[in-house]
């Protein structure tokens, strides 16, 4: 199944109306940002790319929230002579509805670099990993994930090419980068894992 190793469902509110993004093989795509609150009250601002055929039929009378299902995608973008990894949700369905916020992700793929295990100054355990989630036509999405506590301990023992399955949420994080022109506010996206497991070869 094409999307079995990369699925996301998010439900939240529009930050602004969709704007035209690009055209590809005669198909027009629009971009919008979905604001999805966490239980803590922090709001994740998540970029979505959707084909116009998914957006134009939407019925605003259907509810207060937008629900998007699809995949998390990545691509390298050249900016100021440097490449940066761009993360976004590629929608396969968009609906207007009511309900509580949702941010559910499942990813499965090999590690494309060694895990980085560390502790915060307060002693909290964290492990950063990069998954190469396979896509059609021998392509892959490179997705940064962060794990916590005992899960971070367990996955830190894995190595490049080990296959991992992660359940969690896509989150945004604002940080300040110091440049030649002064500090610049940027946003990073990563998957925060609720659970993760190592997948043996035979699976």
User: Domains in the chain: how many in total?
Assistant: 2
Q: Which of 47, 76, 101 is the last residue of a domain?
A: 101
* Same-domain status, 42 and 89: yes
* Same-domain status, 35 and 117: no
Pairing of strands 182-199, 139-148: parallel
The CATH number covering residue 53 comes to 2.40.50.140
Q: What is the dihedral of CA 76, 82, 22, 53, to 10 degrees?
A: 30
* Same-domain status, 67 and 150: no
pLDDT-derived band at 80 (thresholds 50, 70, 90) equals low
Give me the residues paired with residue 66 across strands.
Answer: 12, 96
pLDDT at 176: 84
CA-to-CA distance for 129 and 46, rounded, in angstroms? 20
Q: What is the dihedral of CA 124, 6, 45, 54, to 10 degrees?
A: -170
Is residue 159 domain-resident?
Answer: yes
* Same-domain status, 120 and 60: no
Helix (H, G, I), strand (E, B) or coil at 153: helix
* Same-domain status, 134 and 92: no
Is residue 1 domain-resident?
Answer: no
Q: For residue range 122-155, what is the model confidence (pLDDT) as tens digits?
A: 889 999 999 999 998 889 999 999 999 999 999 9
Supply the range of the domain harboring residue 14: 6-101
Q: For residue range 31-61, what is the model confidence (pLDDT) as tens digits?
A: 999 999 999 999 999 999 999 999 999 887 8
* Same-domain status, 97 and 112: no
Q: What Cα–Cα distance (Å) separates residue 16 from each residue in 13, 29, 33, 48, 143? A: 9, 16, 7, 12, 26
pLDDT-derived band at 175 (thresholds 50, 70, 90) equals confident
Decide if 145 contacts 131 (C-beta within 8 A): yes
pLDDT at 83: 81
Is residue 148 domain-resident?
Answer: yes
* Same-domain status, 119 and 190: yes
CA-to-CA distance for 201 and 203, rounded, in angstroms? 5
Host H or E run for residue 190: strand 182-199
Question: Tokens 């992660």 — which residue?
Answer: 166
Is residue 51 domain-resident?
Answer: yes
Q: How many C-beta atoms surround the C-beta of residue 133 within 10 A?
A: 22
* Same-domain status, 93 and 134: no
* Same-domain status, 97 and 123: no
């Amino acid at each position: 199944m094409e999307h079995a190793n990369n699925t996301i469902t998010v439900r939240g509110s529009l930050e602004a109306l969709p704007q035209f993004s690009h055209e590809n093989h005669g198909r027009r795509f629009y971009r919008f940002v979905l604001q999805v609150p966490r239980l803590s009250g922090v709001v994740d601002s998540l970029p979505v790319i959707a084909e116009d055929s998914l957006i134009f039929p939407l019925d605003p009378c259907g509810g207060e929230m937008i629900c998007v299902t699809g995949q998390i995608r990545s691509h390298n973008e050249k900016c100021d002579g440097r490449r940066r990894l761009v993360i976004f949700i590629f929608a396969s369905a968009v609906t207007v509805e009511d309900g509580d916020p949702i941010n559910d992700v499942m990813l499965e793929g090999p590690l494309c670099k060694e895990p980085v295990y560390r502790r915060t100054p307060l002693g909290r355990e964290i492990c950063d990993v990069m998954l190469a989630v396979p896509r059609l036509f021998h392509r892959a999405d490179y997705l940064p994930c962060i794990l916590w506590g005992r899960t971070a301990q367990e996955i830190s023992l894995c190595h490049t090419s080990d296959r991992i399955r992660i359940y969690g949420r896509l989150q945004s994080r604002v940080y300040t980068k110091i440049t030649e022109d002064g500090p610049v506010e940027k946003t990073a996206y990563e998957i925060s894992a609720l659970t993760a497991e190592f997948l043996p070869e035979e699976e």
